[in-house]
Structure 1
Amino acid sequence: MNDPRKTESTTHFGYQSVPESQKARKVAEVFHSVAAKYDLMNDVLSGGLHRLWKRFTIELSGVRRGNRVLDIAGGTGDLTLQFSRLVGESGEVVLADINDSMLKVGRDRLLDRGVAGNVRFVQADAEKLPFPDNHFDVITIAFGLRNVTRKEDALRSMLRVLKPGGRLLVLEFSKPSNALLGKVYDAYSFAFMPLAGKLITNDADSYRYLAESIRMHPDQETLKSMMAGAGFERVTYHNMTGGIVALHRGLKP
């Protein structure tokens, strides 16, 4: 008889199927590799559009002075920098990332810009957030949810630490709404992204994984249903750049 304790659930790592216990380590290896040139690659691969996508996220967040904000998978701190200015001295922003290399890059970058007093840096797993219940007014996760092994657990964890009436915003690559655009985007992703990774970071494999992880991420309606299933209300999404990117927003009851 087989020992059920030896059977482990699997998940996807790009197009590969791997044991769930291994995915976090494999994702960590990717981001250790790309951390130093992450901002440069974002500009190259998006043509600078990622800045507009993040600006819209900030506008829709409704963050104001005195708020407490959690920026999950905050990486190099683009959103945290803007939130720090919005919440002022009476507010607080927590930049959280599971990857210590990304967190270090973000911390160094923000400290170089004079951001310190109202920002904390926390290494944290989105599935098991180390914060009290009903603690944050707003949570954002930008281009990070697709790398989470158990997305439903992460969404429930985010709901727990939000205050009633608090807002979650998920900015993520999604499914293009036009079939022709989808074909062009596929060709771009699987040809140009690894090539750019090779030329700029000497790491084609990491950017091949990132392209694959985008395709494995739930589409707009599926993610909307997942957020509602986790307990969020009034879940909506906004497509940007033809649905290549979508911003989902949900409220805690």
Structure 2
Amino acid sequence: MTQDNETTHFGFQTVKTAEKAGMVREVFDSVAPRYDLMNDLMSGGVHRLWKDAFVDWLDPRPGRDYLDVAGGTADIAFRILNRANRHMSVGTRPANVTVSDINYEMLSVGRNRALDRGLVEGLSWVVGDAEHLPLPDRSMDVYTIAFGLRNVTNIDNAIADAYRVLRPGGKMMILEFSRVVIPLFDQLYDTYSFKVLPLMGRYIAHDEEAYRYLAESIRRFPPQDELAQRMAAKGFRQVRYRNLSGGIAAMHTGWRL
């Protein structure tokens, strides 16, 4: 069967596999200018705490090469550089962060934010598909992806490509919306996701369908244990995860040994 005849999901829709990446690109091209504002409003600022916890667990250090995939607005990249630079000493090579995103518009937002902060060293920017990264084998020490894995066409292919670009001893870390584990709270979260988020998208980001897709894509993403198993199936070892805010989000980590 050719890819033209294969199907996948785009939120709750069934679409041709070959078309999904373009559809996701359109969503993020549309919301890029208001992406960070919407994140703050949607989560009440909690996404910042999740990202801080993610980088706390990562514990960045100088002298390492980091790859942040689907990292267009550079929220994670800035945190990595800031944390790594705290450990700098004489003769130590600074950390380098390559920010990769399939959406040029999202990368433009990130580059502009970096310039506003005076950050010109230690950052590079690459337009690339998470399933086929334009990077050499075994070229990175750490691979991070925050709130981007659920948007790829084939999650297993993206995990496999993460394994490919990591050096032996390298680490993959994922931060993603996940499965709520607190009884009754999941019902409240569903109501918020499917009733409130699309309205916020309509009036603030001027794209209701983009945020309807967001809610649907979260529900289609594999739960915590399944994602851990899929990481292990692609070669990662010592795979673990931690829930955040009762499972609204979760962090996964695994090593290429």
- Give the TM-score band, short-chain normalised: over 0.9
Relative to structure 1, is the Cα distance of residues 137 and 181 closer, same or farther in structure 2, using a 3 angstrom cutoff?
same
In the alignment, which residue of structure 2 is the partner of 1:8? Answer: 5
Match of 1:17 in 2: 14
Cα contact 1:63–1:138 (8 A) shared by 2: no
The aligned length equals 250
Deviations 1:38-68 (A, max 9, x none): 0000000001010011011111112101111
1:105 to 106, 109, 115: 109
Matched, 1:33 2:30: yes
Calculate the TM-score normalised by the size of structure 2.
Answer: 0.94
Displacement over 6 Å in runs of 4+: none
Change (3 A) 1:97 1:5: closer
CA distance in 1: counterparts of 2:62 and 2:210, whole angstroms: 38
Structure 1 residue 75: deviation in Å?
2.1
Give the gaps of 5 or more residues in structure 1: none
Q: Is the 8 A contact 2:170 2:256 kept in 1?
A: yes
Which of 224, 230, 244 is 2:228 aligned to?
224
CA-atom RMSD, angstroms?
1.2
- 1:68–1:87 CA contact under 8 A, matched in 2: no
**One-letter code of the match for 2:200?**
A
Deviation at 1:91, TM superposition (A): 2.3
Judging changes above 3 Å, is the alpha-carbon distance between structure 1 residues 180 and 8 closer, same or farther for their aligned structure 2 residues? same
| CA distance in structure 1 between the aligned counterparts of 2:139 and 2:58, rounded to whole angstroms | 16
2:78 to 64, 75, 81: 81
Corresponding position: 1:202 with 2:206: yes
Aligned position for 2:96 = 92
TM-score, length-normalised on structure 1? 0.96
2:250 corresponds to: 246
CA–CA distance in 2 between the matches of 1:179 and 1:194? 24
> How far apart in 2 are the matches of 1:7 and 1:222?
28
Say if 1:5 and 1:58 are closer, same or farther in 2 by CA, change over 3 A: closer
| Secondary structure of 2:186 counterpart | helix
Cα distance, 1:6 vs structure 2:
8.5
SS in 2 for 1:137: strand
Identity %: 48
The residue type paired with residue 215 of structure 2 is A
Tell me if the contact between 1:84 and 1:115 (Cα under 8 Å) persists in the aligned partners: no
Correspondence for 2:192: 188
Is contact 2:237–2:255 with CA below 8 Å preserved after alignment? Answer: yes
- Whether 2:135 is the aligned partner of 1:131: answer yes
Report the Cα distance in structure 2 between the residues aligned to 1:57 and 1:83, rounded to whole angstroms.
Answer: 10
